[in-house]
Amino acid sequence: MAGINTLISSVLDKTAQVKADGIQNESTEFGLNTSDNVNNAALAATVGMVNLAISKIEEQRIVIDKIIFTGGNGYLLSSLFPHHCNVIDELVFLGLEAYI
């Protein structure tokens, strides 16, 4: 799935006369204005995708001990989940290092 910033910029770039400020708060609630709704919808889509993945894993009776986020919005996303989450900024580089 596209990252949060890509989701937001796609809406802003492809929709006439829609303007939005940067993410002001960590929320998936309906906003009170266009800016909040554009940002919150991108967060809600991402949280929904992760929750669907969690649900599919749990259907297989696999226990999830923790969720690991990496990338530019890792800390933002981790604040939106009730699960035990870790943020590892350098995870991709650690993986590459292991195989080089």
Contact 44, 30 (CB under 8 A): no
The answer on pLDDT for 26 being more than 80 is yes
Q: Which of 52, 56, 51, 100 is nearest to 80 (CA)?
A: 51
Task: Give the CATH superfamily of 4-99.
Answer: ATPase, nucleotide binding domain (3.30.420.40)
Q: State residue 17's pLDDT score.
A: 82
Confidence of residue 14 (pLDDT cuts 50, 70, 90): confident
Tens of pLDDT, residue by residue over 66-88, are 899 888 888 889 989 877 889 99
- Cβ atoms within 10 Å, residue 43: 22
Mean pLDDT, rounded, of the chain: 88
Tens of pLDDT, residue by residue over 56-67, are 999 999 998 889
Q: Is the dihedral of CA 48, 90, 20, 17 positive or negative?
A: negative
Domain boundaries, the chain: 4-99
Q: Is the dihedral of CA 60, 63, 69, 75 positive or negative?
A: positive
Q: Rounded distance, CA 39 to CA 75, Å? A: 16
